[in-house]
């Protein structure tokens, strides 16, 4: 991924909704038998050396632990779904997502 592609902070969840700063994401973690476990992450803006990038952090943490350009393939974070928004009046971009099963 080039530097110019990393500067673009438009990311989408598995339903095609745009992910914005302050959103609460429900992310697949692991599955044992029929039981599925999820992680809950908050989207924040992290100051990098050259430009700010979107990152995720645990809801109980102060420090971001992963940047979205690492997690999202083709700008779509296939393991995440937005379950809470900070500002529900903001107009969000939508994508049509091909719902193929991701490789795990």
Q: Which residues have CB under 8 Å from 92's CB, separation 6+?
A: 17, 18, 20
Residue 83 phi, psi dihedral angles, 5° rounding: -115, -10
For residue 102, the model assigns a pLDDT of 54
Whose tokens are 């029929």? That residue is 34
For residue 85, the model assigns a pLDDT of 86
Q: Which of 53, 66, 61, 54 is nearest to 27 (CA)?
A: 66
What single DSSP character describes residue 56? E
Q: Each residue of 66-87: pLDDT tens digit?
A: 988 888 888 899 999 999 988 7
* pTM of the model as a whole: 0.81
Domain ranges of the chain: 3-84
Q: Each residue of 26-58: pLDDT tens digit?
A: 999 999 999 999 999 999 999 888 888 899 999
By the 8 A CB rule, do 24 and 42 touch?
yes
């Amino acid at each position: 991924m080039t530097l110019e592609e990393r500067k673009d902070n438009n990311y989408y969840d598995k339903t095609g909704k745009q992910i914005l700063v302050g959103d609460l994401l429900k992310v697949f973690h692991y599955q044992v038998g029929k039981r599925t476990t999820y992680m809950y992450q908050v989207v924040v803006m992290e100051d990098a050396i050259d430009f700010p990038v979107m990152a995720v952090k645990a809801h109980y943490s102060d420090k971001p632990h992963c940047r979205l350009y690492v997690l999202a393939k083709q700008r779509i974070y296939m393991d995440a779904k937005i379950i809470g928004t900070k500002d529900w009046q903001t107009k969000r971009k939508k994508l049509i997502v091909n719902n193929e099963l991701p490789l795990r």
